[in-house]
Amino acid sequence: MKQCPQCGKFFPDEVTECPDCGVATVEFEDPVAEEKPQPRRRSRLIYAFAYLSWLVVVPMIEEHNSEFARFHCNQGLVLAFIEILTTTSFGILRAIPVPILQTVLGCIEGAILLACFVFSVIGAVGALTGRKTELPLIGKIRVID
């Protein structure tokens, strides 16, 4: 029997990674003052790459078997897509020669990009701490599963 060192759930021997936490499962041992094994820190660092724009390809390739990694890659991809769509469409709108409109559009674009940045930080912190942090508004969108 295997056990998740993070949440303590039990799994069959063939399960190598906890579906909830994304940490490597370990052989279950009776709790006789045993030191708890450390979760795979390298993996978590790679999961956080999901929120660094095009670096999302790193966890997608390295950890494609991990449901936890796919969860974070999905959110990272949605954010990257929103960012590209925002900069592209507002870039086109910049051609309209109305100064007051440009000020308003600049504020809207800035607000969207700032929100994307904040969401990326929230998601990356979730990945680093082994959590599936569903982001507000965009967390329900699925581009990969």
Q: Which residues bind Zn ion (CB under 5 A)?
A: 4, 6-7, 18, 20-21
Minimum distance of Zn ion from residue 59's CB (angstroms): 18
Nearer to Zn ion, 17 or 75 (CB): 17
Please give the Cα distance from 70 to 3 (Å, whole number): 21
Nearer to Zn ion, 20 or 62 (CB): 20
Minimum distance of Zn ion from residue 89's CB (angstroms): 40
Residue by residue, DSSP assigns 18-50 as -TTT-PBPEE----SSPPPPPP-HHHHHHHHGG
Minimum distance of Zn ion from residue 10's CB (angstroms): 10
Nearer to Zn ion, 11 or 81 (CB): 11
